[in-house]
């Protein structure tokens, strides 16, 4: 499989773009090699500039639940373009989408559109601090909430201690106002609240952690976290940027049977275009300017083309709900991948799946219930083995996200034939993944 044109383009890109890419994981640093430059995509497939075709299981990291260039979404975008593509003024599309969401997500009485999940999280945390008069935010190790300074932190040396910067340019003072707790550990969270509860403005969490592997949590763990937050007067911010509308109209909040104070959305609500949103109770959202003193603005917020794509996507999800079929296909595919590995005598391969998300875990683990639920349970061999698997699959026409810690996504555009091709490629690639 030739990649000569991609290699030449990457060399050009590195001269004018940091690392040659506009988001780090695209550079293939986690797997090695040269990133493929994509020429076009349609349905379940992408074609690169060298003419290679791939079944795409990255799906732009989640938003394309109906696949590339879904005809209904495309028609909505083309109609919006015929009227204009940026106004910098009030318009009807964002009103319709806001009404659609607030009438279907009980926790969201009002919301504000932004351009990304990072903006949504940053703004929601600002509201939480203003409304509570507190300074600290509690997050969980292995959960990613965008690249706002206060979220680019890592745990300290002690259990659930004050965080340290996880990026150059983030000051220790900023990091000191974020607390980091381990996933799947009620005692650690309780201890942290016992020591810092009066300072914590909000607990932010991915109800389905999917940014450092797919790390499904026990419902009992999340419910204990919610109870502690309520007890100590801390707000709950649910980061549903990935899970929102991907697992159902009600997202993970509905699955867990909880109602957060604030919610952040992204990905699916833009149908593949740049859209984010944060919302919650009216009493909290009215802290936001121009009604309240919390400032947040954006020149391209609620861009009419992106809003049209999001509204078409959500309406289609409601009129033709794909969730049960997607979950069945994803679970079936995950089971089949594990069986192929077992047939080859490799019992160290597991595939974790929730809804239409999946994650291939490579290496021996020792977990109590056979599910990897925290960063510390990820096998030491996983990263190196995944890099080998990734390239073996790429050579066989299967594109996964180029990192062993990113999850895969199925869309309604994926067919039985696509899944069968993936299984055949995986079977052949397992030898390469095992390594020397």
| Catalytic-labelled residue, pool 56, 239, 261, 418 | 239
Neighbouring CB atoms inside 10 A of 335's CB total 12
| Catalytic-labelled residue, pool 56, 139, 261, 267 | 267
- Mapped onto helix, strand or coil, the DSSP state of residue 305 is helix
Cis peptide before 290 (omega within 30 of 0): yes
Burial of 19: CB neighbours in 10 Å, binned 0-12, 13-18, 19+: middle
What DSSP string describes 313-330?
Answer: HHHHHHHS--HHHHHHHH
Report how far residue 129's alpha carbon sits from residue 124's, in angstroms, rounded to the nearest whole number: 9
Q: Is 87 a catalytic residue?
A: no
Buried b / exposed e over 154-172, threshold 16 CB at 10 Å, is ebeeeebebbbbeeeebee
Tokens of 365: 């683990």
Are residues 358 and 214 in contact, defined by beta-carbon separation less than 8 angstroms? yes
- Mapped onto helix, strand or coil, the DSSP state of residue 357 is strand
In 3D, which of 259, 206, 202, 282 has the Cα closest to residue 236?
202
Instruction: Please give the DSSP secondary-structure letter assigned to residue 11.
Output: H
Provide CB contacts within 8 A for 47, sequence distance 6+: 38, 39, 40, 41, 53, 54
| Catalytic-labelled residue, pool 144, 185, 278, 418 | 144
Q: Is 418 a catalytic residue?
A: no
Report how far residue 2's alpha carbon sits from residue 395's, in angstroms, rounded to the nearest whole number: 9
Q: Is 239 a catalytic residue?
A: yes
Quote the Cα angle for 48-52-56, to 5°: 70
Name residue, tokens 């490579």. Answer: 362
What are the catalytic residues?
Answer: 144, 239, 267
């Amino acid at each position: 499989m030739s990649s000569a044109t991609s290699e030449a383009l990457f060399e050009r890109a590195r001269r004018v773009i940091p690392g040659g890419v506009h988001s780090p994981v695209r550079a293939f640093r986690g797997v090695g090699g040269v990133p493929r430059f994509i020429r076009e995509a349609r349905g379940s497939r992408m074609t690169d500039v060298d003419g290679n075709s791939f079944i795409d299981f990255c799906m732009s990291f989640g938003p394309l639940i109906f696949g590339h260039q879904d005809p209904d979404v495309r028609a909505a975008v083309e109609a919006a373009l015929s009227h204009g593509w940026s106004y910098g003024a009030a318009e009807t599309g964002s009103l319709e989408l806001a009404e659609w969401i607030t009438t279907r997500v009980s926790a969201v009485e009002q919301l504000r559109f932004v351009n990304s999940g990072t903006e949504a999280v940053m703004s929601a945390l600002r509201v939480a601090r203003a409304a509570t008069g507190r300074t600290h935010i509690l997050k969980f190790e292995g959960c990613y909430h965008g690249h706002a300074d206060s979220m680019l932190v890592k745990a300290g040396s002690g259990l659930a201690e004050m965080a340290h910067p996880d990026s150059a340019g983030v000051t220790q003072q900023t990091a000191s106002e974020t607390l980091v707790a381990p996933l799947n550990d009620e005692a650690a969270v309780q201890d942290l609240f016992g020591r810092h509860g009066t300072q914590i403005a909000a607990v932010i969490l991915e109800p389905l952690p999917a940014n450092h592997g797919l790390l499904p949590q026990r419902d009992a763990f999340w419910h204990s976290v919610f109870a502690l937050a309520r007890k100590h007067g801390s707000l709950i911010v649910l980061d549903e940027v990935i899970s929102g509308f991907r697992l159902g109209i009600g997202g993970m909040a509905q699955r867990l049977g909880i109602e957060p104070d604030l919610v952040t959305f992204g990905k699916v609500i833009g149908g593949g275009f740049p859209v984010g949103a944060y919302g919650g109770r009216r009493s909290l959202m009215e802290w936001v300017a121009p009604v309240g003193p919390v400032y947040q603005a954006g020149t391209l917020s609620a861009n009419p083309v992106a809003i049209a794509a999001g509204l078409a996507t959500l309406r289609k999800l409601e009129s033709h709900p794909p969730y049960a079929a997607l979950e069945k296909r994803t679970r079936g595919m995950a089971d089949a991948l594990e069986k192929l590995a077992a047939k080859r005598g490799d019992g160290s391969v597991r595939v974790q799946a929730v809804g239409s998300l999946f994650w291939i875990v490579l290496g021996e683990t020792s977990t109590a219930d056979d599910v990897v639920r925290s960063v510390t349970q990820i096998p030491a061999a996983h990263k190196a083995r995944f890099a080998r698997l990734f390239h073996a699959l790429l050579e066989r026409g299967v594109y996964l996200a180029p990192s062993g810690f990113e999850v895969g996504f199925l869309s309604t555009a994926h067919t039985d034939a696509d899944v069968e091709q993936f299984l055949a490629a995986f079977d052949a690639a397992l030898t390469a993944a095992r390594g020397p």
